[in-house]
């Protein structure tokens, strides 16, 4: 199915403006992915028996496995017991690129909700702590209380409370006396890299989507929007409007809103870098295919920070099924090349 034929014709204008290849939208993920807790002892044969005989290991990332896209995991005992997590391979690759090791004591993720990457980081820190007894922690910052509540429930489910500290704050303003070993900026973006999310706009005609309940929620959340105006993609009003025609037009067609997201992304990058210690690593990622939201942000940032250098996200690590970005030492995941959702990854070292 060509999803572009189902969306507003103006969406193609957005793709052209953002330098996005329309061909990407002709492909669809045929797989979903799960990971197993890094220290959970189980054989592959046992996994297949308990999950699915279609399950296959992803050799590029330890303890990551593929399943058919329509495979449900909610009823699996491994999931209920907190040993199995759902996470896209592209998101797992973001965490993998951080290269968490014994020297990482304090890690920061900005825009951490809903928590798939955060809990992956926490699991890796937990394993190192259980080896040497040195307490480690990942600090998760997000501007949305509702999204943080979801994140907290996931942290609790997987019994990672000791390794996670959640902070309700605008990521562009967050401060801490700690200089972090690693920083992940999982930046807010237009999210068109997730085709399964785009499909939600076409499940029924857009003009039918604005219900009275949504209109009531929009009005009730007006003050929240004004309070959080710097982050137009995570306000409570945005959540109330999600997958409506208003949301679609605001996300992709409103040039003022698009400029706000560009500005927000750069501010998140700047603030995250301030919190990074010397010789530390910062990962900037988005699930957008847009060059303006990805490579252009990195170019601008490097021009303004002489002590920052780009290194390949997987240098000295297992090579991933992805393609090079538009600038050297950046990578992209997409349904065509990677059988994943869209993801851009840049890895910056602070000299």
**Whole-angstrom Cα distance, residue 277 to residue 144?**
27
Is 142 annotated to bind a ligand? Reply is yes
* Phi, psi (deg, nearest 5) at residue 350: -95, 115
Is 99 annotated to bind a ligand? Reply is no
- Establish whether 322 is a catalytic residue: no
* Phi, psi (deg, nearest 5) at residue 28: -135, 145
Query: What is each CA distance from 153 to 113, 136, 278, in whole angstroms?
Result: 11, 20, 34
Q: What residues contact 263, with CB distance under 8 A and at least 6 apart? A: none
Query: Interior CA angle at 40 toward 37 and 45, to 5°?
Result: 105
State the angle between helix axes of 245-252 and 10-17 in degrees (0 to 180), rounded to the nearest 10. Answer: 30
Best CA proximity match to 309, nearest among 287, 328, 324: 328
Catalytic residue among 111, 112, 189, 287: 287
Q: What residues contact 252, with CB distance under 8 A and at least 6 apart? A: 10, 11, 14, 190, 192, 258
Is 186 annotated to bind a ligand? Reply is yes
Which active-site residues does the annotation give? 287
Residue ranges of the binding site: 142, 170, 186
Residue ranges of the binding site for S-adenosyl-L-methionine: 142, 170, 186
């Amino acid at each position: 199915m060509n999803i572009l034929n189902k969306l507003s014709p103006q969406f193609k204008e957005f793709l052209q403006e953002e330098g996005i290849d329309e061909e990407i939208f002709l492909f669809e993920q045929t797989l979903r992915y799960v990971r197993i807790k890094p220290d959970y002892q189980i054989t592959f044969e046992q996994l297949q028996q308990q999950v699915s005989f279609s399950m296959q290991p992803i050799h590029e990332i330890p303890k990551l496995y593929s399943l058919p896209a329509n495979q449900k995991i909610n009823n699996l005992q491994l999931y209920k017991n907190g040993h199995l997590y759902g996470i896209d391979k592209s998101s797992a690759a973001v965490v993998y690129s951080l290269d968490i090791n014994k020297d990482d004591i304090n890690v920061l993720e900005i825009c951490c909700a809903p928590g798939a990457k955060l809990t992956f980081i926490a699991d890796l820190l937990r394993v190192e702590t259980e080896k040497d007894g040195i307490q480690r922690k990942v600090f998760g910052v997000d501007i949305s209380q509702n999204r943080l509540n979801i994140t907290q429930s996931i942290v609790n489910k997987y019994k990672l409370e000791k390794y996670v500290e959640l902070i309700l704050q605008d990521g562009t303003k967050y401060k801490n006396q700690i200089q972090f070993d690693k920083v992940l900026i999982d930046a807010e973006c237009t999210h068109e890299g997730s085709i399964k999310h785009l499909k939600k706009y076409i499940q029924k005609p857009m003009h039918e989507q604005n219900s009275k309940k949504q209109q009531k929620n929009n009005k009730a959340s007006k003050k929240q929007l004004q309070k959080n105006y710097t982050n137009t993609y995570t306000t409570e009003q945005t959540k109330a409007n999600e997958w409506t025609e208003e949301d679609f037009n605001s996300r992709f067609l409103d040039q003022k809103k698009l400029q706000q997201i560009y500005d927000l992304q750069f501010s998140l990058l700047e603030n995250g870098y301030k919190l990074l210690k010397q010789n530390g690593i910062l990962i900037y990622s988005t699930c957008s295919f847009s060059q303006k939201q990805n490579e252009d942000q990195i170019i601008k940032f490097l021009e303004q920070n002489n002590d920052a250098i780009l290194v390949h996200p997987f240098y000295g690590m297992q090579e991933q099924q992805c393609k090079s970005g538009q600038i050297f030492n950046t990578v992209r995941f997409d349904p065509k090349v990677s059988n994943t959702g869209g993801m851009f990854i840049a890895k910056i070292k602070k000299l």
